[in-house]
Amino acid sequence: IFDIVVLPGGVPGVPNLAAEPTVAKVVQAHAEAGAWVTAICAAPSILGNLGLLDDKKATIHPGWRDKLTCATFSEDTVVRDGKVVTSRGPGTALPFALTLAGILVGQDKAGEVAAAMVTTLP
């Protein structure tokens, strides 16, 4: 089990990931083990289909909003609820990545990375 699983977005990538049983097994195993489970763009739909967003706040690409099953939908750029992180799409990739960096290596280091990139932490 890894510390984090990140599902990338995009089409046809997300439909291909959703159709692959190994992806579901890996994501479920990590969620059950208490690891971070994250997804961006259309990929939060996979987490929803697996029931991992049933009691969570989450977001997804606007074009996939009707495919997201979650307790509470948010239009925030990045949504962190428990050990689940979702983000909206390509334009939110940097805040998503900095959020994950903060989780994995700490806010101070994520802040250093953000500063070097001339941006701020989400």
User: Please, how many CA atoms are within 13 Å of residue 6, restricted to the half-sphere of its CB?
Assistant: 12
What are the phi and psi torsion angles at 102 (to 5°)?
-60, -40
Verify whether residue 30 is a known catalytic residue.
Answer: no
74, 59 in Cβ contact below 8 A? yes
Verify whether residue 61 is a known catalytic residue.
Answer: yes
The residue annotated as part of the active site, out of 31, 41, 60, 100, is 41
The residue annotated as part of the active site, out of 56, 61, 80, 88, is 61
d(C-alpha 15, C-alpha 30), whole Å: 20
Residues marked as catalytic: 41, 61
